[in-house]
A and B are shown apart, each in its own frame.
Chain A
């Protein structure tokens, strides 16, 4: 399931719901990304999504992960709009028969979300605002899966 939301979400409650009723998935892995304050240098993040397009692109990434790692299920929740330091921005959860596939699929999905998901991120701080684009490190992380 893919959900874009401007509202805060509760990662614990989401994970509980994702695990509920599973009798055949022996493994669930999850990742939560949280907005950093950068020691006061970042006061807020502003994320733009392209309604109708962003969900479709993420859906294709999730489909690819489902096949590649033989997942039973996957969850992606991503915030957009204005996000304060300490708030969750993104959550990924994956379910599979055994742990390795769940861990790896979670890692894979996050690498794709960081560099390929259609979001545009602006960091606001006392020194002004700047657009953040994928770093060399993000692109190297992504290349691990080629």
Chain B
């Protein structure tokens, strides 16, 4: 599984892209695993306005994850 962090999340974590093997089977399990490793990042992922996308589709709430999933965490966006 590939996990991508955008914006300030990458600065908090110190990485922008990472593989997880074995892969957690749900979004909540992935977040729990990350929070156990890095409490600051865990808090940041739970902050207001942070969304998750699985295989480039935004998901709301819980989602099942396959071993080849690409999960991206997206803080509030700002273009232009």
B: interface residue count bin: 10 to 19
A47, B78: Cα distance in complex, Å: 9
A47, B75: Cα distance in complex, Å: 13
Asked if A52 CB lies within 8 Å of chain B CBs, one says yes
Asked if B68 CB lies within 8 Å of chain A CBs, one says no
| Structural contact, A90 and B6, CB atoms closer than 8 A | no
Asked if A124 CB lies within 8 Å of chain B CBs, one says no
Contact of B79 among A53, A78, A131 (CB under 8 A): A78
A89, B8: Cα distance in complex, Å: 20
| Structural contact, A120 and B77, CB atoms closer than 8 A | yes
A120 / chain B contacts, CB cutoff of 8 Å: 6-8, 75, 77-78
A119 / chain B contacts, CB cutoff of 8 Å: 77-80
| Structural contact, B8 and A131, CB atoms closer than 8 A | yes
- With A48-B6, A48-B7, A53-B56 already in contact, the answer to whether A116 and B77 are too (CB < 8 A) is yes
B79 / chain A contacts, CB cutoff of 8 Å: 47, 78, 90, 113-119, 121
A: interface residue count bin: 20 to 34
Cβ-closest chain B residue relative to A133: B76
- With A120-B6, A120-B7 already in contact, the answer to whether A56 and B78 are too (CB < 8 A) is no
A25, B8: Cα distance in complex, Å: 43
| Structural contact, A89 and B80, CB atoms closer than 8 A | yes
Pull 21 A–B residue pairs with CB atoms less than 8 Å apart, ordered by A.
Answer: A48-B7, A50-B56, A52-B56, A78-B80, A89-B80, A114-B78, A115-B78, A116-B79, A117-B77, A118-B74, A118-B77, A118-B79, A119-B77, A120-B6, A120-B75, A120-B77, A121-B78, A131-B8, A132-B78, A133-B76, A134-B78
Interface residues of B (CB under 8 A from A): 4, 6-8, 11, 49, 53, 56, 72, 74-80
9 closest A-B pairs by beta carbon, nearest first, are: A120-B7, A117-B79, A119-B79, A90-B80, A133-B76, A53-B56, A113-B79, A131-B8, A121-B78
